[in-house]
Every structure is written in structure tokens, then in C-alpha cells.
Amino acid sequence: MKDVISLGVGEPDFVTPWHIREAAIYALERGRTSYTSNLGLLSLREAIAASVEKNFKIGYSPKTEILVAVGVSEAMDIAFRAVINPGDEVIYHEPCYVSYSPGISLAYGVPVAVPCRAEDGFSVTAEVIERAITPRSKLLVLNFPTNPTGGTMSRPELEKIADVARRHNLLVMTDEIYSELTFEGGHTSIASLRGMKERTIFLHGFSKAYAMTGFRIGYACGPAEIIEAMMRIHQYSMLCASIISQEAALEAIQHGEADTLAMREQYRVRRNFIVNAFNQMGLQCHLPRGSFYAFPCIRSTGLDSKEFALRLLESQKVACVPGSAFGPSGEGFLRCCFATALDRIETASERIARFVQGLR
Ligand SMILES: Cc1ncc(COP(=O)(O)O)c(C=O)c1O
């Protein structure tokens, strides 16, 4: 369709900052076109170690505890394949990123979803996790700030979950891809809590914070024996991540903080606008404390989320993702990515308001 405003795809509308693109160009100019170590360039792993230490207060050895991968996507896939035995149960909270459940199934694990509720700001409780634990439970997957809800977790809440993981001897995989895009309240990683580093696989990447989705670079930090097992799968399936992207990622992690902060402030303005617009048109919308997604409730319209999204697209040419795409608890909600220019968001909001008005 022509003239569609898309709030659909979950990626920054910003182009990668110029100095980062320049680092990729310079890598090519210098003839940096070879393979790297399977684990990734040591210089990049050292910079990752320094960044994770500074921002998350967790110390990892660049030689044995960090692996550079082709996006968080690959890091997640090889983490699942490294730690899951057939039939192992993996607990994750939903609504969530669409790859978790298929990724677990592809590794012959059993996905076990626990719900998050709008009333709790889409955080997950230790109680609901503990209730889902069985003797087959192996791994707990966390993603805060969350795609698609923008939910975050306070440190005390995370402490309770860490306690559950320690008592039940669970491994934890934490997907930190939106952590820099936390608007208020600060961000704590579960890996930084007492007794958690040794049982946690910490995944992070460059796609969202530095607007580098097309570079396909992410990383995993974790206990040396898990990183070693992941490295074997990575070695035989991917060999290594692109050296050009790794050089760009090195520039980003060393000199890109100001860009991330500037983009985050833009997202904050857009977030405040869109959340306000939804509430004004009568679609209740909680304030996402992180990520770049608004998740308004559309139940008051009487439509289910897929029908709402389809009819909105057909009649007003605004593309959003039905909440049900992210799990059963997403039914009745709509994911709207606000990593889109403010004037486009303004027009999209007017169109959505017109659509909602027409339903009444
Ligand atoms: C929660 C979450 N994890 C991982 C990814 C994939 O990230 P990458 O581009 O690093 O593969 C996404 C992409 O949307 C995401 O939302």
C-alpha cells in the first residue's frame, strides 16, 4: 500500500551515526576484510568488557567470558542450543519478543510462558515464575526493558527473581538489548546481583542503542564453560561475525555514548507524545519506562488486536503490530513503535483517533 505510516517494525529510524559508518569505511580502506578469531576481535571484546563493567557493574574476562555474535539473534540461538537438552523447560515472560519460543523449540526445549500484566506495568513477579518451575526447568529468559511492552524491573523485584533462580538452580538468560533505552528509574541487570554472574548468560548488542540493525552485531557474556560451548556452535555455523561490522561496533562502544543519549531523548519526546495521544483518544496506555514501543489497550473498541490492526491499516494506512503476535497476554493490545519521526507519529495518531472515533 502507498502512503502507509509504519509504527510496525522495531528498529530505529535514525541512520547509524556517521563516525560509526566511517569506522566501517575505514576498515575497508585498510583492507580489514579477513576472518577474525571465532570469539571476535580481542580489541572489541576488551571494549565490551570495559563497557559492561562501567554500565552494568559486572566484570567479564575478554579472553574467556565474551563472544561476539551476529546480533543478539545469533547469540540467543547458540545460547539456547548450548544449554538446553531435549525436553528441558525454559521459562520466559510474555508478551515478549517473537523469537524466544521458536528459538527454544528449535533447540528441542519446551517453552513455558508466564504472563505479565498491564496492572503491574508489564513487569514479571517472582511468584509467577516460581509457580511455573518443575523438575525439568532449566533456564529462565528475561528481557527488560521489554519488547513489546516497554516494561522494566526495579532492583528489589529482580532480587526476588534472583533468589528464585538460585534456590531452584536455574540458569538465566538476560536479553539487555534495550537497556540503554531506559527512560526513568535506572536499569539493573540480574547478572550484577549476588551469586548471579555464574548462572547468567548476558546478551547485548548494537542494533537498538546505536541504530546499527544492519551491521548485525551482538555479544554474549557468561561463565567460561558456557561461552566455550556457545563458541563451538558459533565456530561451526557462523565462524565469526563480519570484521567490518566489528570495527564499526568498536567505534560505537568507545565513542558512541553521546549518540545513544541524544537518540534516547528523541525517543522520550515521541513516547510522551504518543502515550498522551492514546490516552486522549480513549485507548488506555501505560507509560513504557524503556524500549521504543507503546502498548495501548484496544479492548474498549470491542475488536480483537488482529482485527483492529488490519482494519486500521486498510482504512487509515497506519501499520501497527497486533499484541497477540507477542503471546496470549498481548491480546487486546497493539504494539506501536515510536522510533519514527515525530511529525509522522503526529499524523499517525490523528489517523488512529479518526479510526477509533469511527468505531463508536
Ligand atoms: C528483545 C529483542 N532481542 C533481540 C532482538 C534482535 O536483535 P539483533 O538485531 O541484535 O539480532 C530484538 C530485535 O527486535 C529484540 O527486540
The dihedral sign for the CA sequence 258, 263, 269, 275: negative
Task: Quickly count: other Cβ atoms within 10 Å of residue 239's Cβ.
Answer: 10
**Distant-in-sequence, close-in-space partners of 342: CB < 8 Å, separation ≥ 6:** 266, 269, 270, 273
pLDDT of residue 297: 97
Give the mean pLDDT of the chain: 97
Residue 72 CA to ligand 1 center (angstroms) comes to: 6
Which residues, listed in sequence order, are joined to residue 114 by a DSSP beta bridge? 93
Q: Is 218 in the pocket of ligand 1 (CB under 6 A)?
A: yes
- Judged against a pLDDT cut of 90, whether residue 185 lies above it is answered with no
Task: In whole angstroms, give the CA distance from residue 176 to residue 204.
Answer: 5
Cis peptide before 148 (omega within 30 of 0): yes
Strands 218-221 and 171-175: unpaired
- Judged against a pLDDT cut of 90, whether residue 347 lies above it is answered with yes
Share of the chain above pLDDT 90, in %: 97
Ligand 1, atom 4, residue with closest C-alpha: 72
Q: Is 97 in the pocket of ligand 1 (CB under 6 A)?
A: yes
pLDDT bracket for residue 181 (50, 70, 90): very high
Question: pLDDT, tens digit, for every residue of 77-122?
Answer: 999 999 999 999 999 999 999 999 999 999 999 999 999 999 989 9
Residue 73 CA to ligand 1 center (angstroms) comes to: 6
Q: Is 143 in the pocket of ligand 1 (CB under 6 A)?
A: yes
Residue 74 CA to ligand 1 center (angstroms) comes to: 10
Cis peptide before 86 (omega within 30 of 0): no
pTM over 0.75: yes
Task: In whole angstroms, give the CA distance from residue 267 to residue 338.
Answer: 7
Task: In whole angstroms, give the CA distance from residue 98 to residue 154.
Answer: 24
- Judged against a pLDDT cut of 90, whether residue 13 lies above it is answered with yes
CA distances to 177, 283, 359 from 307, in Å: 30, 16, 12
Q: Is 82 in the pocket of ligand 1 (CB under 6 A)?
A: no
- Judged against a pLDDT cut of 90, whether residue 41 lies above it is answered with yes
pLDDT of residue 353: 97
pLDDT bracket for residue 298 (50, 70, 90): very high
pLDDT bracket for residue 360 (50, 70, 90): confident
For residue 339, what is its C-alpha cell?
522510533
Q: Is 349 in the pocket of ligand 1 (CB under 6 A)?
A: no
Out of 207, 217, 295, mutate this one to test ligand 1's pocket (max ligand atoms within 8 Å of CB): namely 207
Question: pLDDT, tens digit, for every residue of 132-172?
Answer: 999 999 999 999 999 999 999 999 999 999 999 999 999 99
pLDDT of residue 207: 98
Strands (E) located in 210-346: 218-221, 293-294, 318-319, 321-322, 334-337
Task: Tell me the average pLDDT across 22-29.
Answer: 98
Task: Tell me the average pLDDT across 315-334.
Answer: 97
Which residues, listed in sequence order, are joined to residue 203 by a DSSP beta bridge? 175, 220
Residue 251 CA to ligand 1 center (angstroms) comes to: 20
What crossing angle do the helices spanning 342-359 and 257-280 adopt, rounded to 10°? 20
Phi and psi, residue 46, nearest 5°: -65, -40
Q: Is 92 in the pocket of ligand 1 (CB under 6 A)?
A: no
- Judged against a pLDDT cut of 90, whether residue 213 lies above it is answered with yes
- Judged against a pLDDT cut of 90, whether residue 46 lies above it is answered with yes
Residue 93 CA to ligand 1 center (angstroms) comes to: 16
Q: What is the greatest pairwise CA distance in the chain? A: 62
Q: Is 180 in the pocket of ligand 1 (CB under 6 A)?
A: no
pLDDT of residue 309: 98
